[in-house]
Amino acid sequence: MVTKYYDLRENINEDNLDEIIKAYKDGEVIAFPTETVYGLGANIYDDEAIGKIYQAKNRPKDNPLIAHIGNISQLESLVKEIPIKAKLLIDSFWPGPLTIIFKKNKDISQIATAGLDTIGIRMPDHPVIETILIKGNLVLVAPSANISGSPSPTTMKHVLADLDSLIYGIIDGGNCEEGIESTIIDLTCEVPTILRPGTITKEDIEVEIGEIELDESLLGSSTLIAKAPGMKYRHYAPKAKVYIIENRIKTDLIKIEIKKEKIDVNKSAIISFEENRKHYEELGILHKFSLGSMMDLKYGIRNLYRILRDCDILGIENIFIEDYKEIGLGFSYMNRLKKAANQNFLKEK
């Protein structure tokens, strides 16, 4: 299959829009930009098209997809009810990087929702996909546009690297502003619960609807049923082995690990915050990447997946990356890091 390329970075071309909308309605899957990461979209009412997503990504069938809408009338057609707390969150955060779990309408695809009676829905804040959803009156279900388990794509080139020739098309809408996936909150349980943290934090949400909880899977417990993407499987992982550096440990401890595991420093990378770069210079690790200042974690989060993908391109075999305090955005950052490293912490015993 020759994957089609649509460049909508500078101009949302009407002819391209019409072609893209027709392709979605004809059952094709096309990668599209959002403010978080690139998504791989299919018509929510076309099970065959949805199946193409799972096949292209090699995605487990029990991992549900998120529905993307362009207006509130589309939401009303997908769910049984819109709770008061959902309305408060919608008023504050939509369009934007927040996915809300609702009780779904019985007509919604069982394949898209992995057989669950709930569905995650969000309204993306990106002019390209917003225009497509509204003009085409489309609801698209979409995971991130990458091979399952690898770092999510934040540029068109990332999508191309993973899915070229496997999907119908890719829409280039520029680089993603947020850099990690949306926050997911479940409003179908007794106490609203975050299933996946993002750039909208627990603290942000509690300002709007009061106290909420974190799902047990975010606190270290395993989960048998994934109500949302990112809960059950290893995610966001580069090809390299990843070591999380806890509390900027002494470099002697890193040297011991390098010697013990016979790590080639010329095929290794150190990913650190700008304030701490000099701390690691004596290690002799060839490749060095900066997450920016510790005072601007949003910058680091925006570039995290790009750096991990750059490591893949360079053939990096081992990555040492700094942790962050798990509050606010730091909790979201560490969620992605722990998944990418498979909980592999390098710390003082």
End-to-end CA distance of the chain: 52
* Angle of CA points 248, 331, 99, to nearest 5°: 150
Q: Tell me: do 326 and 248 sit in the same domain.
A: yes
In single-letter form, the type of residue at position 349 comes to K
| Residue in this structure with the two tokens 């065959």, named with its chain if needed | 48
Rounded CA gap, 19 and 6, in Å?
A: 10
Q: Tell me: do 196 and 292 sit in the same domain.
A: no
Phi-psi region of 135 (alpha: psi -120 to 50; beta: other; left: phi over 0): alpha
Rounded CA gap, 70 and 22, in Å?
A: 17
Q: Are 156 and 175 spatial neighbours (Cβ–Cβ below 8 Å)? A: no
CA Rg, the chain, in Å? 20
pLDDT in tens, the chain (349 residues): 899 999 999 999 999 999 999 999 999 999 999 999 999 999 999 999 999 999 999 999 999 999 999 999 999 999 999 999 999 999 999 999 999 999 999 889 999 999 999 999 999 999 999 999 999 999 999 999 999 999 999 999 999 999 999 999 999 999 999 999 999 999 999 999 999 999 999 999 999 999 999 999 998 766 556 677 766 556 789 999 999 999 888 999 999 999 999 999 999 999 999 999 999 999 999 999 999 999 999 999 999 999 999 999 999 999 999 999 999 999 999 999 999 999 999 988 6
pTM tops 0.85: yes
Burial of 54 (0-12, 13-18, 19+ CB in 10 A): buried
Which pair of structure tokens corresponds to residue 77? Answer: 């057609």
State which residues form the domain around 308.
Answer: 241-346
The residue count for the chain: 349
Rounded CA gap, 25 and 145, in Å?
A: 19
For 241, the enclosing helix (H) or strand (E) is strand 241-245
Phi, psi angles (nearest 5°) of residue 39: -110, 160
Report the SS3 class of residue 103. strand
Domain boundary among 219, 254, 282: 219
Q: Tell me: do 213 and 245 sit in the same domain.
A: no
Residue 333: give its domain's CATH number. Answer: 3.40.50.11030
Rounded CA gap, 128 and 174, in Å?
A: 10
Total count of domains within the chain: 2
Q: Tell me: do 69 and 164 sit in the same domain.
A: yes
Q: Tell me: do 306 and 194 sit in the same domain.
A: no
Report the SS3 class of residue 318. strand
Q: Are 303 and 180 spatial neighbours (Cβ–Cβ below 8 Å)? A: no
